Each structure stands twice: as C-alpha cells, then as structure tokens.
Amino acid sequence: MSDRGAVRRVGVAVNPTAAGGRARDAGLLVVGRLRAAGHDVVDLTGTDAADATARTTTAVRDGAVDALVVVGGDGMVHVGVQAVAGAGVPLGVVAAGTGNDFAAAHDLPVRRPGAAADLLLTALATGRTRPVDAIAVTGAPGARWVAGAVSAGLDAAVNGRANALPARLPARYVLSALAEIATFRAWGYDLTFTGVVDDGGLPLEPAASADDVVHRWRGRAALVTAANIHRIGGGIRVAPDARSDDGLLDVVVATVLTRAAAATIFPSMFSGRHTRRRDVHVVRAGAVTIAPADVPSADRPRGARQPSELPLAHGDGEALGPLPVTARAVPGAVALLAAPGGP
C-alpha cells in the first residue's frame, strides 16, 4: 500500500453503452460525487474503445490527471490498463458492465455505483492504493497490456463469437460456447514457458536459453489461457487459484482432444472443478509464449485443425490478434485505488 495524499485531477472514462446504458448513469453519479468532493474531473470518454484508449493514455502521459477512473465492464478496465500500467498513476474501477471479472476478482463493488463512488472518494482522500500485476503481451498483435487473462483456445473462440452477438442477448457467452463445442476440433500448440514454479503435471521439456530457465510443450489442446486473475467470461473460474499479486501467470492447458470431452469440461469451469481433471494442467510461470504448431500428418487425428484455423488471441474479452503471442506477468504494474481496510 502507499499514501500519495489527496488527489485532485481525476480523469474519468465511461463506456456509455455498457450494460444496456446503465454504465452511463453510473458514470454521471460518480462524476457528480467526485466534483461534490472538490475534485477536478477531466472527461476522457471516447467515441469508441480506441478513442478512449488514446485519450486516457495521452492524459496520463502528459501529466494531465493524477488518477484515472474507468466506468463500465472489463473492456473499460482494458482501456484503463493501457494508460496506467507502469506509469504510477492509480486506477479506479467502477464496475458497471456485463462481466466485471476484474472488479469481482479484487472484491470491488459490482453494479453498485454508489458503493464504488464511496470507495473511490475514500481512496482518493487517503491516497490508498493496492499494487496488482498486469500482463504485458507482445507478438503478432503488437504490444498490449491485459488486466485479467489472455485466451488462445476454446475460450478465445467463444469470446470472439460472443462479441459478435448483441450485447443485450441473455447468456450470449453460454450460447457461444455451445456453438463452438458443437464444431470443436483440437488445435496444435507450441508453448514456451519462462520461470516455471509449478508444471501442473504437464510434461515439459527443458529448452536452451541464454538468459532464463525455459521449458517447452508441444501438442494438441482445447484450452490455453494465461490468467492473472481467477475468472473470465462473467464468472467462469478458469484458473481458480490465480492471484494478481504473486508475479506469476496461471497458464491453464486442457489437453482435451474430443468433442465429448470439450462438452463436459465447459460446465465444470463455472465452479473451477475442471482443474481436477487429469487432462487439465495449470502451469505457474512468469511468462509463456503461445504459438501455433502443425501436427505431423501421421499423428494428426481426423479433423484436427491446422494452425491457420486457431482463434485470435483475446485479452480481457477483447480481440488482440493472431498467434504467436508472449504473455509476461509484470509485478505491481497497476496501482489500484482501494479503501483503507479493503482489498
């Protein structure tokens, strides 16, 4: 924790369409409370995610704000992290979206803007922050920060399909999962781990490296997720023991090859029981490179997907780009606004 003193210039970025427009109302409430408390509020709401990212990043870089508050779901947390990660400017989160996994993982108020405003005002008055890790992502998509998890398997495919559906559609993530499982075929991966603390039972092989201890795994899988927090997709406990303050990623690798197995693994992810399966491994490491791998024709099962068919990597529910990507845990990259005695 740290004590920075009272903060006066607060940038606020709102996703006015999140949760059917309820985030807009939450934003108005929070802005009103901040101004009533004497803070100078700088409106950084953009016309879309890219514009919001540009506005918030510029404001933080130029020293125009002393703190940044994002209002919406995990997509807005993703926007905020691009701006503040490694910059030392604290981040406040008003969870008013659909998934709100980042806020829930850090015991922040979810869909309770009044409670969120109370926490922010207390944190700003005391300068109370909590250092949390973020994921630095590099590779084909370029350089990005991710707050929650990098998905590169079935969960990424489901995420991409869900994002294409209307935001107000009930259970769109579950519906998308059912559609993806119906056509599931295993993908081929080449995974390279750095700084392995626990191999999770995945048969890793040492790989030569001049700088770090590196291990490698090559094979077929349904799920490859590098998690900084324990949940994604609005409550799916993809990595039940993941923590955002340990400097490590929990990399979930499900070596599931059949459609029937994929169908059984998904329901158990809501409770986190999938990690008890023998074909689900959680590798704890400082970094992982996720690359597509072709499977030799003599070893390829009927219908196995080629590398070009792998889904786009996703982070915080947002499309990042094609593989390969490297995900690296950066300890304490974000100073999260927190109340005394809180998380």
Is 138 part of a structural domain of the chain? no
Query: Does residue 166 share a domain with residue 229?
Result: yes
Query: Does residue 306 share a domain with residue 158?
Result: yes
Our measurement of the distance from residue 228's CA atom to the centroid of its chain's CA atoms, rounded to an integer in Å, reads: 7
| CATH code, domain with 46 | 3.40.50.10330
**How far apart are alpha carbons 237 and 257 in whole angstroms?**
21
Query: Does residue 103 share a domain with residue 44?
Result: yes
CB 12 within 8 A of CB 44: yes
Is 257 part of a structural domain of the chain? yes
Query: Does residue 25 share a domain with residue 65?
Result: yes
pLDDT of residue 1: 40
Is 342 part of a structural domain of the chain? no
Would the pTM count as exceeding 0.85?
A: yes
Q: 109 to each of 43, 119, 154, 194, 311, how far by Cα in Å?
A: 22, 9, 29, 35, 33
* Total count of domains within the chain: 2
Query: Does residue 296 share a domain with residue 196?
Result: yes
pLDDT of residue 175: 84
Is 325 part of a structural domain of the chain? no
**How far apart are alpha carbons 223 and 221 in whole angstroms?**
6
Query: Does residue 157 share a domain with residue 296?
Result: yes
Mean pLDDT by 10 residues, the chain (343 residues): 64 83 89 96 94 97 97 95 97 93 95 95 93 95 93 91 75 82 90 96 84 88 96 92 97 94 89 95 98 67 60 94 96 87 45
Query: Does residue 256 share a domain with residue 213?
Result: yes
pLDDT of residue 196: 96
Is 104 part of a structural domain of the chain? yes
Is 27 part of a structural domain of the chain? yes
Query: Does residue 263 share a domain with residue 155?
Result: yes
pLDDT of residue 308: 52
| CATH code, domain with 222 | 2.60.200.40
Query: Does residue 55 share a domain with residue 201?
Result: no
pLDDT of residue 176: 86
Q: Which domain holds residue 7?
A: 2-133+332-337
Query: Does residue 162 share a domain with residue 110?
Result: no
Is 103 part of a structural domain of the chain? yes
Query: Does residue 165 share a domain with residue 52?
Result: no
Query: Does residue 255 share a domain with residue 210?
Result: yes
